[in-house]
Chains A and B, each alone.
Chain A
Amino acid sequence: MNRKMNGDCEMSKVTDEIHGQIIGITDEERVKIDAFERRMYSHDLASLPKMMELGFKMMPDLVVIPKDAEEIAEIIKIARKEGIPVVPRGGASWGLGGAMPVDGGIVIDLTKMNKILNIDKNNFNVTVESGVTWKKLYDSLIKMGYMIGSYPSSAYAATIGGWISTGGVGVGTYKYGSAIDHMESLEVVLPTGRILEIGESETSTTGGQDLSRLFFGAEGTLGIVTKARLKIHPAPEEIRPLSYGFDNLKVLSSVVKKMTLSDVMPLHISFLDRFHFEFLRDLGIEIPGSEINDMLNIALEGDSAVLDLEEEALDKIAMTNNGKKQENDIALHEWNERFFELRTKRAGPTATLGEVFIPISNMAEMVEDIYKLIKKMKLRAAVTGMISDRNTAVFMPYYLSDERKLIRNLVSLSFIKKLGDLAFTHGGRPAGQGLFFPGNLKKTYGPGRDTMMDIKSVMDPFDLMNPGKTTEGLTRFGIPIPTFAMNSGMNMMAWIKHILTKDKKVST
């Protein structure tokens, strides 16, 4: 193949001819191959050391901004013919490398497919292009008296397609479930270039397989979500935020357990430990209230009269466990801060966030073990999280470090792996695979992972659709990252971190 040197001396998979073909499908304005622009698309939220580029070609060879599924289908057909990887990209607000190439190729930037196509008031659904952000969708619906039940806490940047593909939980998941529970149908472009409309018909399921479910959490490895029809709900009379302070997360956990057993159904339940607030205070960021507690934040939603009763019930549970009900302004402040979970990052200035799912029954034990791990690794960390349904606690602890201190920062990374191990011990699992944790898939699903790989190889036999993610960690040379090497490497790193001196202001 006639390959050319491309800007930064990398061999490009995209020849002049292919470049020309892609411009032919779209137009000149929406295709870039210059190194400056491509560099912008070589990463997501995670700040990775540049040495990573020894193993991964994170720079795409070409970036294209398509305007519809048809254009994407044509681009994919070319990529398939030429053997070029294709990486779909939404808001790029995830930290596990899902939207980052590992072997160059074509990045498809979906953020300009951002139209809300139809709000069907009679049938309570909305049809959107996949590049719409959840914030924009939420705002547009609220204006008209409707509501999307749940959305990711990164809603300002996260796109519809991005959250569907990463399969996450978010604000409102407790009451309304995740993106999958809102999905009525999807339009997807398959790795063959075929465009499918899949999912339920307008009314309800009529048998046959609902293929749309395959794309939830597939991290763009099976195809590209281009449109979605989502369920909507009437906007409530009131959203009422409540906050309760506790002495520690263990007590808070026992209260949460009682609340999940009650028949109150809040919109959202989340928690932040006192270390998080201490970091904020260290930064000089104003937080209402004088006292620092471990905080349980709850949002109720519905008719005000009903909320009065629900609030009373929750108050009772909290008070019997020494919970301190916070003033309204604190609760409101906490609710408004739901999109800004990492405001403390500046104190690092590097913050690394882990995410694990644990059965509610084991929440208190998990709290204890996370703090033990933090102490053992001498990290400056805080524990935050949410309750995603009656039986699932999601822990999102993060630690602060400084990426300029290379070794210290690198070995700290093993915290995320160790956190995953703890999750497995307590009957839970880490969230998301992306580039770094495909190894967890086997541990989580056992032979189910083999079936996922079978599905992947049937749908994408040449492994061109977001290769190296979800089911297999893959380097630029097509060599998988062996799970045992990853594990022993991570264990070694944790040990090194353990023998290093304490991080400044250790939080335990």
Chain B
Amino acid sequence: MKIKIGGIENDLYACLQCGYCTSICPVYNEVGWESASPRGKIFYIKQLTQKSIWDRILRRKIDINDALIKRIYQCTNCGACEEVCHVNNKPYEIWGLVKDWFYANNIDPPEILKKMQSTIETNHSPYVSGFESGSVADRNELLIKKYKLPEKGEVVFFVGCVSSYLLIKMMNSALKILRKSGINYTVLKDEWCCGNILGATGQGKSPTFQKSAQHNMAAVKATGANTLVTSCPGCYRTFSEMYPKYASKPDFEVMHFTELLVDLIDNEKISFKKSFDKKIAYHDPCELGRLSGIYEPPRKILENIPGIKLTELIDNKKDCNCCGNGGGLSSLEPDLAMNISLKKIDEVLETKADTLVSSCPNCRHGLSNAILEKKKRMSTNGGGDLGLDMMDITELVGKLV
């Protein structure tokens, strides 16, 4: 019978079905079917909420089926649809509420996302094992032994899982910058996965997410810090938006690393010792740009680096195209995510930049893989040269201070 999903009815009825979102949706543009577009999904969800006796009479089969469930999760949460929406809808937030409703009504997310919950529950990281720095315990030990950080600090650096286990360079760069800056900082004694992937896939009310939220916030409190800084826009949004929404509001300030860097530059706590004579294109991570409104700090940092020639992608800032790896899509459908990333790389190559810089470990990871993949496809022996490197802004700054 009629399905009632709280908080979305007005948006469903407001939708004009104009299709502007279809033209901009990275997933729809790859998949090609109307059901993969925000417009199509809204149309169908509205049908679900309108079920009546007429459906029986007309034998209209409208139901929550596997195809629909697949489409709801098949989204990078990039928010591009919101920017062009005729009636100011936020489609990705509608999917968020639908996913929450699914969870509350025992409709499981796709297997791989569900499994992630149990992995995070047991490992406190979304990864099973076998990455650069091994397990959470290994990472914790490394931090203690190598960096000998104090138990207390004014600023706490939240490393994030990608930087901890897949891109350890990013963690090291950030810590190097913090050390050079001379500010009073530390890390968590035992940092758990923030749970972003759970919050983004309807599992914000799961015990696992709740535990992560409680654990991490208590751990921050134990350090006595009044500010948490992270180089991951995913973790940033988990602390600033998901914890307040699903758990409780943190009683400390949450900052993205680029915001801190601007402070450090402005207060002359760090300075660039070397120049970087390259042409750089900057990619706005969706969760940092469109979803958090942080566009200027990364640009300001780049402009301060001697030697750099900064160029903008044709679609930049609020129009920046997604790298394809958000919302858990790179786990759910790696091929689809890769195709979106490859398109992005083509777009970057058009600017003739030789270095692509972003400020998100997830974008960094997905896009460097896409560069490798593109090189592989360019020549049979995998040795093609694109003349393009990828770096996170923390790596770049870490190299030069």
**A interface residue numbers (CB < 8 A to B):** 7-10, 30, 32, 34-37, 39-41, 43-45, 47, 50-51, 53-54, 65, 91-93, 109, 111-112, 133, 135-136, 143, 154, 156-157, 285, 339-340, 342-343, 345-346, 348-351, 402-404
Please report which residues of chain B, range 79-103, place their CB below 8 angstroms from some CB of chain A when the two chains form the complex. 84, 86-88
Residues of chain A within 8 A (CB-CB) of B55 are 50
Determine if B18 and A37 form an interchain contact, defined as CB atoms under 8 angstroms apart.
no
Residues of chain A within 8 A (CB-CB) of B20 are 156-157, 339
Determine if A345 and B58 form an interchain contact, defined as CB atoms under 8 angstroms apart.
no
Q: With A36-B67, A40-B33 known to touch, is A53 a contact of B60 (CB < 8 Å)?
A: yes
Q: Tell me the complex Cα distance, A37–B88, Å.
A: 26
Determine if A41 and B16 form an interchain contact, defined as CB atoms under 8 angstroms apart.
no
Q: Tell me the complex Cα distance, A345–B43, Å.
A: 16
Is B271 part of the binding interface, using a Cβ–Cβ cutoff of 8 Å? no
Q: Give the residue name and chain of the B residue nearest to A353 (CB).
A: B16
Determine if A45 and B32 form an interchain contact, defined as CB atoms under 8 angstroms apart.
no
Q: Give the residue name and chain of the A residue nearest to B23 (CB).
A: A156
Is B62 part of the binding interface, using a Cβ–Cβ cutoff of 8 Å? yes
Q: With A91-B19, A342-B86 known to touch, is A36 a contact of B44 (CB < 8 Å)?
A: yes
Q: Tell me the complex Cα distance, A143–B350, Å.
A: 12
In this complex, how many residues of chain B approach chain A with their Cβ under 8 Å: the count is: 36
Q: Within the complex, which residue of A65, A351, A402, A404 is in contact with B16, where a contact is CB–CB below 8 Å? A: A351
Interface CB pairs A-B, < 8 A, 16: A36-B65, A37-B33, A39-B44, A39-B62, A40-B35, A43-B17, A43-B43, A47-B17, A53-B58, A92-B19, A93-B18, A156-B23, A157-B18, A346-B88, A349-B10, A404-B13
Is B68 part of the binding interface, using a Cβ–Cβ cutoff of 8 Å? yes
Q: Tell me the complex Cα distance, A111–B34, Å.
A: 10
Determine if B14 and A349 form an interchain contact, defined as CB atoms under 8 angstroms apart.
yes
Q: Tell me the complex Cα distance, A404–B49, Å.
A: 12
Residues of chain A within 8 A (CB-CB) of B61 are 7-9, 35
Residues of chain B within 8 A (CB-CB) of A51 are 54
**B interface residue numbers (CB < 8 A to A):** 10, 13-14, 16-20, 22-24, 32-35, 40, 43-44, 47, 50, 52, 54-55, 58-62, 65, 67-68, 84, 86-88, 314
Q: Give the residue name and chain of the A residue nearest to B20 (CB).
A: A156
Interface centre among A135, A157, A342, A351 (most CB of B within 10 A): A157
Q: Tell me the complex Cα distance, A113–B23, Å.
A: 13
Residues of chain B within 8 A (CB-CB) of A91 are 19, 22-23
Q: Tell me the complex Cα distance, A47–B47, Å.
A: 11
Q: Closest 10 CB pairs between A and B?
A: A157-B19, A349-B13, A40-B34, A8-B61, A346-B14, A156-B20, A9-B59, A36-B67, A40-B40, A349-B14
Residues of chain A within 8 A (CB-CB) of B18 are 45, 93, 154, 156-157, 342
Determine if A343 and B87 form an interchain contact, defined as CB atoms under 8 angstroms apart.
yes
Residues of chain A within 8 A (CB-CB) of B22 are 91, 111, 157
CB distance from B320 to the nearest CB of A (A): 15
Q: Within the complex, which residue of B16, B19, B34, B40 is in contact with A342, where a contact is CB–CB below 8 Å? A: B16
